[in-house]
């Protein structure tokens, strides 16, 4: 197998399942050489070539079935893969949601990704978002390449390189970009404007970082 330079940031862990349930449809195997090339660190490349997978749970959109599978997620290209009988496989049925364990700062954490949100900018219903806060008002993170393409809609002098973007999914079904700024949120989320003002003042939230945003959205969901 030729070494690959990968065009994505991979979310993986070191363990894999020894026995897995069979899916009801015929999966499609992927040739390792079909993955697109880009620069990435040697450590990530080594992990991918060795196919060290993260134990995960997948929910299929059509049937709602859940399956436990070894997963690997290409966040840049927005593609989810699984391993079966030593092969890299892709899903033919659309995936609504999946969760997987990753290693972060020498600790194992669970992350949840969800699709099915309405189109926004260059993202569509198939785009996976990392779920940072769940409830009627959801805080989402996206690292897919579509956020880079969205820069084409921004005046050149205002464009900047973005590794990720945050979004909010609202009770009325809309999805909007999110900034770490209270006045921006109050303007873009009128139904939650009063609660945002009250909660940021009560809890002294400056909204200058992601942790403060997550706390605000969790507090907003407690209000519902």
Residue 222 placed within a domain: no
Report how many domains make up the chain.
1
Please state, in angstroms and rounded to a whole number, the distance separating the CA atoms of residues 204 and 212. 10
3-state SS class at 217: helix
30 vs 173, residue with greater confidence: 173
pTM metric for this prediction: 0.75
| Domain presence at residue 223 | no
Query: What span, in angstroms and rounded, lies between the C-alpha atoms of 14 and 87?
Result: 17
| 168 vs 35: CA distance, rounded Å | 31
Establish if 124 belongs to a structural domain.
yes
Share of the chain above pLDDT 90, in %: 50
Report if residue 204 sits inside a domain: no
Report which secondary-structure segment, H or E, holds 112: strand 107-114
Q: Quickly state the pLDDT bin for 164 (edges 50, 70, 90).
A: confident
Residue 48 domain boundaries? 10-179
pLDDT (tens digit per residue) in 115-135 = 999 999 889 999 999 999 999
Cα dist from 193 to 131, 132, 198, whole Å: 22, 20, 9
- Residue 215 maps to a domain: no
pLDDT of residue 75: 86
């Amino acid at each position: 197998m030729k070494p690959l330079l990968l065009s994505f940031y991979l979310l993986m862990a070191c363990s894999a399942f020894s026995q897995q349930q069979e899916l009801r449809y015929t999966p499609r195997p992927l040739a390792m050489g079909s993955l697109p090339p880009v620069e990435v660190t040697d450590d990530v490349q080594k992990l991918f070539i060795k196919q060290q997978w993260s134990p995960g749970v997948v929910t299929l959109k059509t049937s709602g079935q859940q399956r436990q599978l070894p997963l690997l997620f290409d966040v840049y290209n927005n593609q989810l893969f699984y391993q079966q009988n030593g092969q890299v496989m892709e899903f033919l049925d659309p995936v609504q949601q999946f969760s997987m364990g990753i290693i972060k700062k020498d600790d194992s954490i669970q992350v949840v990704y969800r699709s099915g949100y309405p189109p926004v900018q260059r993202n569509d219903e198939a785009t996976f978002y990392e779920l940072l806060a769940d409830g009627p008002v959801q805080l989402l993170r996206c690292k897919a390449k579509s956020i880079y393409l969205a820069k084409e809609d921004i005046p050149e002098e205002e464009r900047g390189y973005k590794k990720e973007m945050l979004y909010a999914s609202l009770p009325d079904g809309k999805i909007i970009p999110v900034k770490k700024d209270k006045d921006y949120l109050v303007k873009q989320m009128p139904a939650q404007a009063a609660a945002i003002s009250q909660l940021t003042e009560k809890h002294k939230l400056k909204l200058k970082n992601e942790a403060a945003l997550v706390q605000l959205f969790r507090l907003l969901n407690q209000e519902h």
